[in-house]
A and B are shown apart, each in its own frame.
Chain A
Amino acid sequence: MKNINRLEKFVSQKLMIIVLLITCSVTVACDPSIDSLAFDLPDANSQEDLTPPSALFSIIEGNDYLTYSFSNQSVSATMYLWEYGDGNSSTGVDGANIYSEEGTYTITLTATDNLGVSSTYTAELVVVEPEIPPTLIPVILEPGFDNGNDSRDVWRNSSLGGVIQITGSSGYHEGNNGAKLPDPGSDRIGYQLISEFTPNKTYSLTFKYRFKNDTDDNGLLHVSMLTETNDPADIAANTVGAITFSEDVAGVDDLISGTLVFNSGANSSLAIFFYNEFDESYIDSFEIEALD
């Protein structure tokens, strides 16, 4: 019994001391006026923002010229504000906007991180209805052979054949002169590389031609468009479009109009190429126009 009393006394003393200690320490620790804590400011040990946000985006044109989407390429940001320059805005990660009319708009992206640090990036967008570029019309030099023998040089390609002759015979040309492909055997050709074509457009090459009944055979006149070549063996493979006129169909009485319609394909330059077979032929007044 005595022992138990002593134990109770001992325990209660100890408890009292512990309670006192705790009270003291709590009181002391919470007192901000204590000198040892004077410099321990609330954010003294916090890290500075080592990865501040950096805003960036790219612009992607949509299905038509008024519709755009904006690809967010910002780093270290969590919140975004998009201002599209036409009064519209949004807060998603990626932006999208449909403009109501043409104009120049300034798009601003404000990227903010969770510490409230923000970065802005602006870009200008010119909204304009794209013009359909006109189809290019290549230039034909000496199309009417009207400068006499000087006209021949641009039509010359010695690798493919002899040069054309120039005629002044009445009824066989327009203007001053025309091109003459004399009786077969002399293997004369006309060749001129012309540019610029717009690729994959349909063009029409028009000209005047006439046969002369010099031989008993049925004369043929071939007119074609070729990709550039200096090798007779490549002519068939390089042909983009071709037409052949026949003396028995065309007759020999007048200059008549011929037309070759062709597609430029993947080419920006093509050659006009013509030659005759079996009888004398004439050709003159080349013109080219786009049909698209």
Chain B
Amino acid sequence: MNEQVLSRRPERKGDKSTIGLDSGRAGRIVGRTVMWLFLLVTAALTVFPLLMTLSGSLKTGAEMMTGGSLLPAKMQFSNYAEAWRQANFARYTWNSAFISIIATIGSLLVASMAAYVVDRRQFPGKAIFVTTQASLMFISVGAIVLRPQFDLMVVLNLNTTLWGVILILISAHSSTFFLLLGFFKAIPRELDEAAMVDGSGFMRTFFLIVLPLLTPGLGVAGLFEFRHAWNQYILPLVFTMTNPELQPLTVGLANLRYGSSAAMQIHLMMAGACLSILPMLLVYILANKSFIQVTSGSVKG
């Protein structure tokens, strides 16, 4: 496993017999081979379901039904057009984008404003506020919270729009709050004090001076928030059960399994899966570094 550490060390000759050296080298070659085999097999297993999705999305319904070959006989790009128009994926995509974009902006705004005051000022109840946010990250009572949340949205008349889902997503901003709190600590207080001395008001200082400096933090927190919102399933499922026009990609796709012609639509399901994975994949390819940076950061403390 640690061959790379070993191989960086200049070989020390003389303290081993020739036979020892040879078996050492042979062992190292075997070790390297086993290591690469492990790496490549794991990589292959990781991409296999994604490649199967892509391949399935280009097959005909009949091909999917009978199993047959792993690759499509002829690429059926029309599947995508069919999924987009007839299977309502245009609508689902729009709903997903709407939920994710508004929820991301909303959480960033709510969490950054709160984190700014918590980092820069003293106020009564600060400890309670921070403790509540921290405990909400760890208490897991499952789907039970969805029921009172749903009832509340009915009272507010928001159960027939996507705003209910969006508000609930924004309300769960604990992790974004703590992430941004860390970034605020890195911005020197002297900076906003100097701005205030120069006559800049509180709001002005926050929005025009501090927030722009928080851009890297907002970027990574936003990525996570967007991924979280885009990939939600159970929350929008419960809220849009009776309202197909409001369903996001995840719910719309999963519901295809129940259709009367579900068996004949697997190729459309695969095309839909590709459509819903694609935007996140693009974001990932563009912002790979940030994803990895934040995920790592969560244990570095």
Are A and B co-members of a single complex? no
Chain A residues in the interface with B (C-beta under 8 A): none
- What residues of chain B have their CB less than 8 Å away from a CB belonging to chain A? none
